[in-house]
Amino acid sequence: MQQSAPEEFGAYIGIDWADQTHFVSLRDANSQEVKRYKLEQKPEVLSQWVNELQERFPGQRVAVALEQTRGAWIYALMSYEFFVLFPVNPKALARYREAFNVGGAKDDPTNSDLLLELVTLHRSKLRAWRPDDELTRTISLLVQIDAISLIRGPP
């Protein structure tokens, strides 16, 4: 059985999501240098950041590891085709952190670095997020609408 070649990426990103500020660690595929910065939880900040990435890595895919599977941030990232999202289970990240940090102290910049490391070095062990097909999205939406109706009761 022949395995397919791993997908090539122009960059790798680890994002530690928070309520107001997101910590980002970014590494260009052609460099070992890691750029670290913070992004505010604002639509215009996200839009500007995405535009900058598209200009910096034109026509290339970008691998993004993040610790969540739901929420405004990940839903926004899902809408850009050049991102390949790798949601990481919070428990898996905590155990990975513990393996290299005996004290177990948690801080956000370290988490974004660890997520970057996971997507860079261990991507083959992570599952990339794939969007649901149209039928599954429709059923999910109908279930959510039905659940809201049950909670609110008849009009």
**Nearest alpha carbon to residue 73 among 64, 63, 61, 82:** 64
Is the residue at 36 inside a domain?
A: yes
**Which of 43 and 19 is assigned the larger pLDDT?**
43
Structural domain that includes position 116? 11-152
Asked if residue 30 has pLDDT above 50, the reply is yes
Is the residue at 2 inside a domain?
A: no
Q: What is the pTM of this model?
A: 0.77
Is the residue at 144 inside a domain?
A: yes
pLDDT band at 138 (very low <50, low <70, confident <90, very high): confident
Sign of CA dihedral 59, 65, 71, 73: negative
For the chain, the domain total comes to: 1
Span 87-117, pLDDT tens digits: 998 898 988 888 877 665 555 558 999 999 9
**Nearest alpha carbon to residue 84 among 33, 10, 140:** 10
CATH number at residue 55: 3.30.420
Is the residue at 56 inside a domain?
A: yes
> What's residue 150's pLDDT?
66
